[in-house]
Every structure is written in structure tokens, then in C-alpha cells.
Amino acid sequence: MTKAQFERAQKQKIYRFDGYPTKNTFNGKTAKLNMKDHYARTFRTRLREVLAENRPNAAGKYSTFGFGCGTSGCIEAGAIDNTTGTPIQLGDLLLGCGDIDEDGDFRSDPKSNLVIASGCLEGHLQDKDGSEQFGHHYFLIDKGKFKHLRSVRVKR
């Protein structure tokens, strides 16, 4: 994605997958999980399964994942670079939360750098009490990291 494409998409404030195209395309053999990474060592079994079962579905070379994090409706969300085997963590996403009946989700597109997480995401959209609120969270996968673009609260 060029700087001009990024700036044009940001000005529109409409976060669509086609607004953040990727230059990456990966069709080769998936790398083994990068065990030098602390996060990879912590969740090695789950992350190896992601690499074994999935083809890139985000930013041309990443496989996104979401697996239970120990509480009801909570998933550990992120992506793994299929070329290096290095995971990047988005965080704990609570799918059903706040004062809304909508269920959350985690969406991506293989031809786009944009990733959309819906639900309560730690550190985003807190109310006055510090409680997490339900919203749509827009991220760009850029240089092996999730770059937060915007979070929009969803109200009933």
C-alpha cells in the first residue's frame, strides 16, 4: 500500500477491505513456528495448528487466529506471518460484552491489510468506570504489527 492510498482511505473514514490493498501474496510453503518468539513458545500447540490448517487470509501472507482464552466468550486473537512463522498478538477479544446484544467477531481479507475486530478489546473504548465497551476496532497489519486505526463504539 502506498502512502497516498493509505491517506486517501483514512480521509474517507470508511474502513473497508478494498480501501487497504496489500502488495503481499504468498503461495509458498508455510514456515515453521518461530520458537524464538516468547508468545509463540507460550501458545505453541495452538499456533502450530493455525499454521498447519490455514492458508493466508489477511494481508496476503498472514493467517489470522482466535482461540479461547479461558473465560466464556473470550478469544486470544492475532495473526501469524506464513513466511517467517512469527505470530503477532492483537489481544484478548471478548465477543459478547458491554450493553449490547450483538456478538463480536474477527474479520480479515487475504487481499487487504485491514483487520476488523468486533467486541470488547482491552484498552479500547472504555466508559467512565473503566469498563470495556463493545465496538468495532480497525487495525492495519503493517511491518509485522497491528497498527490501531480507529475504534467505534456500538450502542443499542
pLDDT at 4: 63
Torsions phi, psi of 9, nearest 5?
A: -65, -40
Would you state the pLDDT for residue 48?
95
How many domains are contained in the chain? Answer: 1
Regions of the chain with pLDDT less than 50: 1
pLDDT of residue 100: 58
Give residue 156's pLDDT. Answer: 55
Q: What is the pLDDT of residue 98?
A: 60
pTM over 0.95, yes/no: no
Determine the pLDDT at residue 5. 55
Return the pLDDT at 8. 61
What's the pLDDT score for residue 93? 82
Task: Determine how β-strand 135-142 pairs with β-strand 105-108.
Answer: unpaired
Question: How much is the pLDDT for 3?
Answer: 60
**Residues in the chain, total:** 156
Angle at 12 between CA 112 and CA 22, to 5 degrees: 15
Q: 77 lies in which domain range?
A: 3-153
Q: What is the pLDDT of residue 22?
A: 94
Contacts of 132 (CB under 8 A, 6+ apart): 94, 97, 98, 120, 121, 122, 124, 125, 126
| Contact by Cβ (8 Å): 67, 95 | no
